[in-house]
Amino acid sequence: MRSTRLATAATLVLAASVALAGCGRDSGGGQDEAKSVGGGKASGEITVWAMGAEGEKLGEFAKEFSTENPDAKVTVTAVPWDAAHQKLASAIAAKQTPDVSMIGTTWQGEFAKTGALDPTPPDLIKKEDFFPGAWDTTIVDGASYGVPWYVETRLIFYRKDLAARAGFPDGPKSWDDLKAMAKGMQEKAGAKWGINLQPPTKTGSWQSVLPFAWSNGAEVASADKLTFDTPETAEALGYYQSFFTEGLAPTALPEGSLEPGFVKGDIGAFISGPWHMGIVEEQGGAGFKDKYAVARMPMKKSSTSFIGGSSLAVFKDAKNRDAGWKFVQWLSKPEVQVKWYQAVKDLPAVQAAWDDQTLSGDTYLATFGDQLTSAKAPPAIPTWEQIASVVDTEIEKLCKQNADPAATAKAIQEQASAIGTGS
Amino acid sequence: MSSASTAPARTAAATSPGRPALPVRRQRLRQALTGWLFSAPFTVLFVVFMALPVVVSLVMSFTDLRSTDLRNPLAVNFVGLDNYTRLFADRLFLRAAVNTLGFVVVGVPLTMVLALAAASALNSGLVRFRTLFRVGFYLPVVSSIVAIAVVWRFLLDPEIGLVNNLLRLVGIDGPSWLYDTNLALPSLTVMAAWRNFGFLMVIFLAGLQAVPADLYEAATLDGATRWQQFRNVTLPMLRPTLLFGGVVTGIGFLQLFEEPFVMTQGGPLSSTLSVSFHIYNQFGFGNYGYAASASYVLFLAIVALSAVQFRLLRERS
């Protein structure tokens, strides 16, 4: 009895595997043709998924769209960030997607490759309106599969008072400046640490390190080629490492002690995105806004930072595709982007929105806007998150175990090319 | 007697061949059908939600399925044992395997010793406040790991943590526990033992109370010391309970995930990366086939560990 059961199970497994083996992967795929969107006003129900604060606020915000398009109704589902990737993946597998969804820029390659995303219609959305770095995050295999919604980039946050005592009242301009400022803050201004650089908290340190490689002229990765192993990258890694070996940056800073340290003047500077303005101003209390400043990434061959943010994508399985694209187009209007900034403090991805006084009037924000024009993102390839985790791991070795910069570049290249670009 | 009763039936069958056999067969078929019908709710649920996913994931581990194949999961290549061979060349997986093994080898005995010590103490010594202690020791088991993680992160904080402040009192400059490559995994091991020993303690306590008192009485009359009684009466009588405890804890500890996930994210320098965490990461990266093969390796390790424990602690006759 048992043996016949085993035989049945074995037959089943065999049959399934033969069926699978028979299928096989298609070699190469045809390019998606972007279809145009019909004219007129949007109508019908548009289902939208959005994460985080965007998910909470978008429903209310979209009412204005319904006023302009009386026949259209926008239904927003708020999805928690933790669950978003899984939920989108399940929706794609089941072909039960919403019409529009917010998508993290690093997911773009993966989801576009499944063939679930609708190519961006060029008659409706104009590439030139957006920051070039942000637009690049939507490009997969040469075609655009989404529209940048909001962006963020990384700057040097530094204490003005400490910087003045260190001899850099206007902040660092070049790589040498940044190093000298960190040193001066420790020696002349009494800071415990001249600068805080990732890692201590390991995840995502590639976002702080790659800007240095890019600023040194390294290409690092493109849609079909990974080139971490270059002298430019090795030099940038060596520069980054020197902050740790010279004792200017902490190797083990407990979670949550960066902001208090910055407010107290123990930490002179750090690299982060726009959200940190709110955090340090809240922790520093009234008047702290005058005590710190933000500066562009220091110059080497260029001053190139990392661009992040989120895009909006329309799905091929959308029930209301045309109206979905019209909603996306509406969200990309400069005046709507400014209003959206006022609602949730998301920085506009549309360049024209930055001419508005709300953004250009604030020197801190204007610095972010300035940096965004040249900020870069890694290519939208489906394996990026895995490659990024390799970069994170190797950078941790570089900074904490004093690994050789050139060997680190080589180790990253080896593992990354084993992972491949997924194309 | 029985031969007498069967004899007429046999002759009846011989006189009219085949005919009376039919109702019997039909009856049997009906019985079988009814049986299947009754078990159908379970069988269907089991096949659809248990057996099928297991078979599918096993097949998946022999393919190069990735998250980019979501829309047509059948259009993947069959790669044979490639995932498995790749796994054993994956430095990170090997690192995770070593970490997990270290965690189990130290953690399981530590948890069992702690649990047995606490259970023995509650069984003989601390009779007065037994309920209070039992609740106290059991509390970490039912608490949320997230809350425990927050508390332990505070305790182990290098600057403001209680542990290092206590060490400072006696003049020792404590290390930064969770940020040190050599101390992070031991710290998590101790924390996991602390969190899990309450469960085993309750089970061991029940086992201890089932040991007949007259055995101890006889041992006392023979002049056995407390330690000799423990060695020669308690431990042998407790062997099935110890086996259960060892297997259950071993299975749980081999699947180490929550502690590094909430405390260290696998760091520093992958020193707390566990096999489960690595599998979780691989699923996150969308390498479904590869992650499935890693899951089956972990499954085999669990089976092997349980088999070893059964062998070591089985009844000796």
How confident is the model at residue A26, as a pLDDT? 58
How confident is the model at residue A351, as a pLDDT? 93
Are residues A201 and A302 located together in one domain of the fold?
Answer: yes
Are residues A220 and A137 located together in one domain of the fold?
Answer: no
In this prediction, residues A15-39 reach a mean pLDDT of 60
Taking only the tens place, the pLDDT of each residue in A280-321 is: 999 998 889 899 999 999 999 999 999 999 999 999 999 999
How confident is the model at residue A14, as a pLDDT? 52
Cα–Cα distance list, A284 to A89, A164, A264, A294 (Å): 41, 19, 8, 15
pLDDT bin (cut points 50, 70, 90) of residue A422 is confident
Q: Peptide bond preceding B236: is omega within 30 degrees of 0, i.e. cis?
A: no
B55 touches chain A (CB under 8 A): yes
How far apart are alpha carbons A302 and A199 in whole angstroms? 24
Hey, are the CB atoms on B67 and A393 less than 8 Å from each other?
no
A401 touches chain B (CB under 8 A): yes
Are residues A237 and A137 located together in one domain of the fold?
Answer: no
pLDDT bin (cut points 50, 70, 90) of residue A1 is very low
Q: How many residues does chain A have?
A: 423
Domain assignment of residue A189, yes or no: yes
In this prediction, residues A123-132 reach a mean pLDDT of 90
Hey, are the CB atoms on A202 and B267 less than 8 Å from each other?
yes
Are residues A254 and A161 located together in one domain of the fold?
Answer: yes
Residue A8 has pLDDT above 90, yes or no: no
Q: Is residue A165 within 8 Å of residue A189, measured between CB atoms?
A: yes
Are residues A123 and A230 located together in one domain of the fold?
Answer: no
Taking only the tens place, the pLDDT of each residue in B123-172 is: 877 667 788 888 888 888 888 888 888 888 888 888 788 888 898 888 88
Residue B121 has pLDDT above 60, yes or no: yes
Provide the residue type at A82 as one letter.
D
Domain assignment of residue A273, yes or no: yes
Taking only the tens place, the pLDDT of each residue in A162-186 is: 999 999 999 999 999 999 999 999 9
Domain assignment of residue A24, yes or no: no
Are residues A302 and A397 located together in one domain of the fold?
Answer: yes
Are residues A272 and A326 located together in one domain of the fold?
Answer: no
Are residues A203 and A290 located together in one domain of the fold?
Answer: yes
User: Looking at the DSSP assignment, which residues form a beta bridge with residue A196?
Assistant: A270
Three-state DSSP class for residue B76: coil
Taking only the tens place, the pLDDT of each residue in B192-212 is: 999 999 999 999 999 998 999
Q: What are phi and psi of A399, to 5 degrees?
A: -85, -30
How far apart are alpha carbons B125 and B107 in whole angstroms? 26
Hey, are the CB atoms on A252 and B180 less than 8 Å from each other?
yes
How far apart are alpha carbons A248 and A399 in whole angstroms? 12
Closest-CA residue to A318 (of A112, A101, A98, A108)? A98
The nearest alpha carbon in chain A to B157 belongs to A254
How confident is the model at residue B200, as a pLDDT? 93
Rounded to a whole number, what is the distance in Å from the CA of A133 to chain B's nearest CA? 24
Closest-CA residue to A105 (of A131, A123, A126)? A131
Residue B294 has pLDDT above 50, yes or no: yes
Hey, are the CB atoms on B56 and A16 less than 8 Å from each other?
yes
> What's the CATH code of the domain at A322?
3.40.190.10
Q: Is the dihedral of CA B188, B190, B193, B198 positive or negative?
A: negative
Q: What is the DSSP letter of B63?
A: B
In this prediction, residues A245-269 reach a mean pLDDT of 89
Closest-CA residue to A90 (of A65, A116, A57)? A116
Hey, are the CB atoms on A202 and B67 less than 8 Å from each other?
no
Tell me which chain B residues have a C-beta less than 8 angstroms from the C-beta of A20.
59, 63, 74, 76, 78
How confident is the model at residue A119, as a pLDDT? 93
Six-digit token pair at B50?
Answer: 């248990």
Pairing mode of beta strands A307-314, A147-153: antiparallel
pLDDT bin (cut points 50, 70, 90) of residue A29 is very low
Q: Is residue A132 within 8 Å of residue A148, measured between CB atoms?
A: no
The nearest alpha carbon in chain A to B72 belongs to A93
Q: Where are the alpha helices (DSSP H) in chain B?
A: 2-15, 21-46, 52-60, 82-87, 91-120, 130-142, 145-155, 162-169, 184-209, 213-221, 226-229, 235-237, 239-254, 258-263, 275-284, 288-313
Rounded to a whole number, what is the distance in Å from the CA of B281 to chain A's nearest CA? 9
Q: What is the DSSP letter of A287?
A: T
Tell me which chain A residues have a C-beta less than 8 angstroms from the C-beta of B78.
17, 20-21, 24
How far apart are alpha carbons B62 and B60 in whole angstroms? 5
B280 touches chain A (CB under 8 A): no
Residue A50 has pLDDT above 90, yes or no: yes
pLDDT bin (cut points 50, 70, 90) of residue A423 is low
Q: How many domains does chain A have?
A: 2
Six-digit token pair at A196?
Answer: 């805080």
How far apart are alpha carbons B202 and B133 in whole angstroms? 11
How confident is the model at residue B266, as a pLDDT? 82
pLDDT bin (cut points 50, 70, 90) of residue A10 is low
Cα–Cα distance list, B15 to A396, A413, B19 (Å): 89, 86, 10
Are residues A159 and A279 located together in one domain of the fold?
Answer: yes
Three-state DSSP class for residue A381: coil
For residues B224-248, one letter each, b for 16 or more C-beta atoms within 10 angstroms of the residue's C-beta and e for the rest, the string is beeeebbeebbeeebeebbbbbbbb
Hey, are the CB atoms on B287 and A386 less than 8 Å from each other?
yes
Domain residue extents for chain B: 2-59, 82-313
Taking only the tens place, the pLDDT of each residue in B254-265 is: 999 999 998 888
Superfamily of the domain at B82-313:
MetI-like (1.10.3720.10)
Are residues A338 and A394 located together in one domain of the fold?
Answer: no
Rounded to a whole number, what is the distance in Å from the CA of A365 to chain B's nearest CA? 33
Tell me which chain A residues have a C-beta less than 8 angstroms from the C-beta of B281.
389
How confident is the model at residue B178, as a pLDDT? 85
pLDDT bin (cut points 50, 70, 90) of residue A9 is low
Give percent of chain B above pLDDT 70: 91
Q: Count CB atoms within 10 A of the CB of residue A181.
A: 28
**CB-nearest partner of B68 from A19, A24, A382:** A382
Cα–Cα distance list, B299 to A235, B57, B192, B295 (Å): 44, 12, 21, 6
Six-digit token pair at A132?
Answer: 């070039």
Are residues A146 and A169 located together in one domain of the fold?
Answer: no
How confident is the model at residue B85, as a pLDDT? 92
Residue entry with tokens 């206007």: A170
Residue B20 has pLDDT above 60, yes or no: no
Six-digit token pair at A20?
Answer: 């699978």
Three-state DSSP class for residue A150: strand
How far apart are alpha carbons A142 and A149 in whole angstroms? 20
Strand order in the sheet with A147-153: A72-79, A44-51, A100-104, A307-314, A147-153, A347-348
User: Which of A97-101, A159-163, B132-136, B270-274 is predicted least confidently?
Assistant: B132-136
Residue A400 has pLDDT above 90, yes or no: no
pLDDT bin (cut points 50, 70, 90) of residue B5 is very low
Q: How many CA atoms lie within 13 A of B246 on its CB side?
A: 21
Q: Peptide bond preceding A119: is omega within 30 degrees of 0, i.e. cis?
A: no
A309 touches chain B (CB under 8 A): no
Radius of gyration of chain B (CA): 28
Taking only the tens place, the pLDDT of each residue in B61-91 is: 999 888 888 888 887 888 889 999 999 988 8
Cα–Cα distance list, A289 to A267, A278, A284, A372, B284 (Å): 16, 10, 8, 22, 39
pLDDT bin (cut points 50, 70, 90) of residue B12 is very low
A141 touches chain B (CB under 8 A): no
Tell me which chain A residues have a C-beta less than 8 angstroms from the C-beta of B179.
200, 252, 254
Mean pLDDT estimate for chain A: 88
How far apart are alpha carbons B254 and B295 in whole angstroms? 12
Choose between A8 and A123: higher pLDDT. Answer: A123
Tell me which chain A residues have a C-beta less than 8 angstroms from the C-beta of B68.
110, 113-114, 382, 422
Rounded to a whole number, what is the distance in Å from the CA of A214 to chain B's nearest CA? 25
How confident is the model at residue A223, as a pLDDT? 80
Tell me which chain A residues have a C-beta less than 8 angstroms from the C-beta of B63.
20
DSSP string, B119-151: HHIIIII--TTHHHHHHHHHHHHHS-HHHHHHH
Radius of gyration of chain A (CA): 24
Six-digit token pair at A33?
Answer: 């043709």
Please give the distance of CA B174 from its chain centroid, rounded to a whole number: 34
Domain containing A407 equals 155-306+379-419
Three-state DSSP class for residue A315: strand
Hey, are the CB atoms on B68 and A203 less than 8 Å from each other?
no
Residue B3 has pLDDT above 80, yes or no: no
Domain assignment of residue A166, yes or no: yes
Residue A15 has pLDDT above 70, yes or no: no
Are residues A242 and A357 located together in one domain of the fold?
Answer: no
How confident is the model at residue B9, as a pLDDT? 44
Rounded to a whole number, what is the distance in Å from the CA of B39 to chain A's nearest CA? 18
B265 touches chain A (CB under 8 A): yes
ipTM of the complex: 0.75
Six-digit token pair at A250?
Answer: 């902490």
Q: Which residues, including other chains, have CB under 8 Å from residue A348's CB and lie 6 or more apart?
A: A150, A151, A334, A337, A338, A340, A341, A354, A359
Hey, are the CB atoms on B71 and A92 less than 8 Å from each other?
yes
